[in-house]
Chain A
């Protein structure tokens, strides 16, 4: 972990342009969520809660703030000069880890500010914060920030064409697996057999790589510990970060050789 990268990245996020954009996002989002939180329907409030503490904010902020930090800045007007940074005694894995952690901290700060604003707005309309905010919401905010930032770090670490290919691959895999399982299920001769179990296992294994977040409420309230959810979540975070480090190690950073 590099303190220099962590410290200066968080300072970079506090740059006025970033702050203005983020503030507008926070305010708009908080106003909307606040309005939803003040309604009478449990479903609407639950939806507002999931929006507030779900993956949307981590994804948007991470894409906006973290991704450009990984670009080879010879092609950019401002930002980091990666070749210069990597000429220093800084392991690239440490750079990835520091960027990820700085993103998590920044996103959590944003979620906290938004939550405070949204609940203040909901409070004005007569709704109690405890109707929506609980330990599961806080846990979800932290867990989503951790996993979605790791995913964005992975995508950003890939050289740009590869990033797009990964997305294309995800969609292709989803479509193919769904179609494959769907088609096979209509073959009447194929009943619930060993073959079907293999297909289900393979599909679950593949799909599990795209299951980024975790629902803490589901985990804690389950009548039996959902080990599978926990293993997939932890494994995905570690997997995304390891792949990011690997991708960064393989990348060349010298005068637009991206």
Chain B
């Protein structure tokens, strides 16, 4: 417990790499609201994950942080400066979700181009940087092949190499493992670990929750343009409360649901022997137990479950995805 507290204190004391305040973004003259009052703080050196269902606003949020989209309201500061500031750009790396690079170039030319854009001279050190980047993504053998002939996974690797150019201090990776084979995913994991070691701040947008859990330090769950949860990965396993009752004394489910709603927490799952309660804050645990007991529900055993990120958010993601699919289907039928 003390270790966790120390970590939290340390995190709070760090200067934020990214500070977002009351960010809003809408399209079509305000008709389509994508982000609504988003506030976020990403500490320097964090590997920060943005998770959420499709259409939740993760990509739009990343676009705003990159200053490629203009927020409708609110404020973004990266290392204390506006996101389109040239000093911010100098330390920023970006991997887009669907890479479609200059097809006529070869990887070496492409990386040289980005090295020049990053303002680095073409000396020996620069050449070594390109060699290192190609080696890191295991593309050194195809360094002279035309990009047009690359597969999806190879393009993704090249995109990652491009991120490494210019020694960024802040990286935005949009679905970095998309289209990659298992060795490729391992490679991305290693690069992220290297970033973590080097103190590089990384913002990842991904659906691979297991991967995120392995490498990220913090995450934010976004749904319908709002941040629902934002916390450290280390606190995740304290959020799912398992409450077991005696077999012969199964509580009234309506009562259970009502009490939990009053406490501001969610009933994630239940069966004859126990209920899984999803807490908003891990410190809510004692309060919830107290309220359950007060309402006459007999409990045998209560403990925090050590569950994964995917188990926690998959139901929410799936529910949203189903709604989205239904909406699309309905639209198509019309």
Contacts and interface: CB of A to CB of B under 8 A. Distances in A.
Interface residues of A, number: 31
Interface in A87-128: 87-91
Given A83-B96, A89-B90, A252 B117 contact: no
A87 B97 CA distance: 14
A90 B117 CA distance: 7
Nearest to A16: B104
A81 B66 CA distance: 15
A186 interface: no
A252 B63 CA distance: 9
Contacts of A80: 102
A15 to B, nearest CB: 5
Contacts of A224: none
A88 B110 CA distance: 14
Contacts of B99: 81, 84
B100 A78 contact: yes
A15 B113 contact: no
Interface in B67-86: 68-70, 86
Contact of A81 (B27, B102, B166): B102
B70 A88 contact: no
Interface in B85-129: 86, 89-90, 92-94, 96-105, 109, 113-114, 116-119
B253 interface: no
Nearest to B64: A254
A7 B115 CA distance: 13
Nearest to A78: B103
Report whether over half of chain A's contact residues are helix, strand or loop; otherwise say mixed. Answer: loop
A88 B95 CA distance: 12
A3 B172 CA distance: 25
Nearest to B117: A88
A81 B96 contact: yes
A73 interface: yes
A2 interface: yes
B59 interface: yes
B12 interface: no
B92 A257 contact: no
Interface in A50-99: 73-74, 76-81, 83-91
A81 B63 contact: no
Given A74-B100, A89-B89, A255-B97, A8 B68 contact: no
A4 interface: yes
A87 B113 contact: no
A80 B147 CA distance: 13
Contacts of B114: 88
A252 to B, nearest CB: 5
Contacts of A84: 94, 96, 99, 101, 162
Given A89-B90, A254-B59, A4 B117 contact: yes
Contacts of A7: 116
B117 A2 contact: yes
B104 A87 contact: no
Contacts of A88: 89, 92, 114, 117-118, 166
Interface in B157-204: 162, 166, 172
B87 to A, nearest CB: 8
A76 B68 contact: no
Contact of A76 (B63, B89, B100, B119): B100
A89 B119 contact: yes
Given A90-B89, A254-B69, A8 B113 contact: yes
A252 B89 contact: no
The 3 closest A-B pairs by CB, nearest first: A4-B116, A254-B63, A89-B89
15 contacts: A4-B113, A8-B102, A8-B109, A8-B113, A78-B100, A78-B148, A79-B102, A81-B101, A87-B92, A89-B118, A89-B119, A90-B89, A253-B68, A254-B60, A257-B69
Given A83-B63, A87-B93, 8 more contacts: A79-B102, A81-B96, A81-B100, A83-B94, A84-B162, A87-B68, A87-B92, A88-B166
